[in-house]
Structure 1
Amino acid sequence: MVLRKQEDSVLVSEYIKGNEQALGVLIDRHNQRIFSFIFSKVLDKDIANDVFQDTFVKVINTLKRGRYNEEGKFLPWVMRIAHNLVIDHFRKGNRLPKFDDNGEFSIFSVLSDNSLNAEKQLIKNQVENDVRNLVHELPDDQKEVLTLRIYNEMSFKEISDKTGVSINTALGRMRYALINLRKLIDKHQIVLVN
């Protein structure tokens, strides 16, 4: 069997059966695309090499444990592993920007910061997604005030007028929304900023 002409799924099967050369063909076939993706996020050749190697260590471990079931979609699967390792790199390296907590929940400083550079955009997108999912778990009255305040940038006076409650009630709902959001973050063990 000429390995170089085989589809990714066949090469994966061959590697799982013990043919070490099959993995070499897969790496040769996709290394440029995977490395370029990683480098485009970390912008450092040495770090990109480390993440690239970690990606294939994880690929090998997963394949050897028989946990691969991507139905022939090898490259997207490896890219997802690389993507997750890039996120881990930024989280572990404490490379996220620091923000002062001025009383309001500090994660919203991350959401409103427009100066993030390309490599941090990945983390920002993940954080936004995590927060958006958590906001949906809040009680409706708290979710409404928080959404109007944070995402629509309305003042508490405007929120009071729109929702038909007093400013104090709107402030109270915001306070409880932030308290509950913190509890949800702890409950789901979500890492927002290091």
Structure 2
Amino acid sequence: MEIKTIPATNDEVLETYITRHSQKIYNFIFSKVMDKNTTEDIFQDTFIKVAHTLKKGDYSEEGKFLSWVMRIAHNLVIDYFRQTQRKRIFRNSEDLGALYGVEDSSMNAEKFLIMQQTERCVKKLIAQLPPDQQDVVIMRIYREMTFKEISEVMGVNINTSLGRMRYALTNLRKIAKQNNISI
């Protein structure tokens, strides 16, 4: 893949930022994927996206540069997990033929349907939250990120992340009650 060059001034700025923040970003990615090769791929993709965005002039300096880059890295990590999840589901669906008729007492059809229904219900509830609260819930519950990591990715202080989670949980309870769903 050929990468077009960025004007010298942007190259120098980008190189300075990469040098300054590379270890922090690399460690963040590695803490999520726990694989050196995958981390290096995502790390490289992160800075390719950063370079392309800077080249097009689409970067707005509303927040901190590091938070913006961390958000890009976080989104690429999420994309990675989505892709690996799809591959695992596809691969497992092929293996069902060999397991057909084998009873698994831990997950029968009824339990599986209940679990699916509960998952859909929870996703619908989360979708009704404001976007910033949705992000915190997804990062904390589904990605198992710490509030410190969440605050870095979102570019806010840790108390704001904690507050958003508290409001999200309160709002989830209200929404569930309005829809006659017991939590």
**In structure 2, what is the equivalent of residue 173 of structure 1?**
none
Q: CA deviation at 1:95?
A: 7.1
2:46 partner letter? T
2:81 is aligned to 90
Q: Which residue of 2 aligns with 1:81?
A: 72
Question: Which of residues 45, 51, 70 is equivalent to 1:54?
Answer: 45
Separation of aligned partners in 2, 1:44 and 1:37: 12
Which structure dedicates a bigger proportion of its chain to helix?
2
CA distance in 2, matches of 1:107, 1:121: 22
Structure 2 segments unaligned to the other structure (5+ residues): 90-106, 123-137, 145-167
**Letter of the aligned partner of 1:124 in structure 2?**
Y
Trace 1:15-54 onto structure 2 (pairs within 5 A).
18-19=8-9, 20-54=11-45
Report SS of the residue matched to 1:106.
Answer: helix
Q: Distance in 2 between matches of 1:107 and 1:97?
A: 21
Shift, 1:108, TM fit:
3.5
Mapped partners of 1:97, 1:109: distance in 2: 19
Paired AA for residue 27 in structure 1: I
Query: Quick one: distance in 2 between partners of 1:123 and 1:53?
Result: 27
Matching residue of 1:161: none
SS of corresponding position for 2:113:
coil
Alignment partners' CA distance in 2, 1:103 and 1:82: 34
Higher deviation after alignment, 82-91 or 71-80: 71-80
Equivalent AA in structure 2 for residue 47 of structure 1? T
- Unpaired runs of 5+ residues, structure 1, are 1-14, 112-119, 153-194
Aligned residue number for residue 159 of structure 1: none
Does the 8 Å CA contact 1:90/1:96 hold for their aligned counterparts? no
Q: Show CA shifts across 1:142-173 (max 9, x none).
A: x22x3x0xxx2xxxxxxxxxxxxxxxxxxxxx
Residue 103 of structure 1, CA deviation: 2.4
Look up the match of 1:106: 116
Q: Residues 1-194 of structure 1: matches in 2 within 5 Å?
A: 18-19=8-9, 20-71=11-62, 73-94=64-85, 102-104=112-114, 106=116, 108=118, 124-125=142-143, 136=175, 140=178, 143-144=179-180, 146=181, 148=182, 152=183
Q: Conserved in 1, the CA contact under 8 Å of 2:21 and 2:66?
A: yes
